[in-house]
């Protein structure tokens, strides 16, 4: 019976300790300073891209999403969001990139470097409203897609069956 009680206490402790604390990251109340929508321009040389980062650390669903607005790439997950003092960092594994920087004293600007190959400056400013992805419209006039098995009839010669048609 004592073993069950000890096991129950250990399970309770494991479930109640935030994952961020186990990883040595900032407590949720510190990271919540980052909640909101952040927008900035990434100058890549010949091209400038609008980047939006959406962070939500409070509530039932916690998320960090990277949007490359000009590339119409929305909702790319960020990982390892960490805030230590005013230092902030997160990774974007799908893009093989990471952002490292600092939060301004007034809490309205993230100034840092985006690293995806060579580091590029990326300053993000807090926004009241997010930029939504464009609506994807279905074109009912699109021709149907056929699979080879639907087109070929039994006994019909084809290159796929190894038969060569001679004329």
Q: Of 121, 133, 153, 147, which Cα lies nearest the Cα of 44?
A: 121
Q: Return mean pLDDT, the chain.
A: 77
| Token representation of residue 31 | 């990271």
SS3 13: helix
Low-confidence ranges of the chain (pLDDT < 70): 1-31, 142, 144-167
pTM: 0.65
Q: What is the pLDDT of residue 59?
A: 80
The full DSSP string for 108-145 is: SEEEEEEEESEEEEEEEEEESSPPPPPPPPP-TTSPPP
- Determine how many CB atoms are found less than 10 A away from the CB of residue 98: 19
E strands in 44-78: 48-56, 63-68, 73-77
Q: What is the pLDDT of residue 23?
A: 35
Which helix (H) or strand (E) segment holds residue 21: the answer is: helix 19-22
d(Cα 18, Cα 27) in Å, to the nearest integer?
Answer: 8
Q: Is 107 left (phi over 0), alpha (psi -120 to 50) or beta?
A: left
- Sequence-ordered alpha helix ranges (H) in 32-85: none
Topology at the third CATH level for domain 25-127: Lipocalin (2.40.128)
What are the domain boundaries of the chain? 25-127
pLDDT per residue over 108-144, tens digit each? 999 999 999 899 999 999 998 999 988 877 777 767 6
Q: Which residue is associated with the tokens 């650390």?
A: 57
Q: What is the pLDDT of residue 152?
A: 59
Q: What is the pLDDT of residue 111?
A: 98
Q: What is the pLDDT of residue 116?
A: 92
d(Cα 65, Cα 55) in Å, to the nearest integer?
Answer: 7
Q: What is the pLDDT of residue 27?
A: 45
Q: What is the pLDDT of residue 155?
A: 64
**What residues does 32 pair with on adjacent strands?**
none
């Amino acid at each position: 019976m004592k073993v069950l009680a000890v096991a129950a206490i250990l399970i309770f402790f494991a479930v109640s300790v935030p994952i961020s604390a186990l990883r040595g990251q900032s407590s949720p109340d510190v990271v919540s300073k980052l909640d909101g929508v952040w927008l900035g321009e990434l100058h890549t040389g010949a091209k400038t891209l609008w980047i939006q980062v959406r962070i939500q650390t409070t509530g039932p669903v916690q998320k960090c999403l990277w949007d490359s607005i000009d590339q119409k790439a929305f909702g790319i997950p960020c990982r390892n969001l960490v805030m230590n003092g005013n230092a902030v960092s997160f990774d974007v594994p799908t893009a093989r990139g990471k952002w490292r920087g600092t939060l301004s004293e007034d809490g309205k600007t993230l100034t840092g470097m985006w690293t995806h190959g060579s580091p590029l400056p990326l300053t993000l400013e807090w926004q009241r409203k997010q930029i939504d992805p464009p609506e994807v419209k279905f074109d009912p006039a699109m021709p149907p897609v056929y699979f080879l098995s639907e087109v070929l009839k039994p006994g019909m010669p084809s290159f796929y069956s190894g038969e060569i048609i001679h004329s």
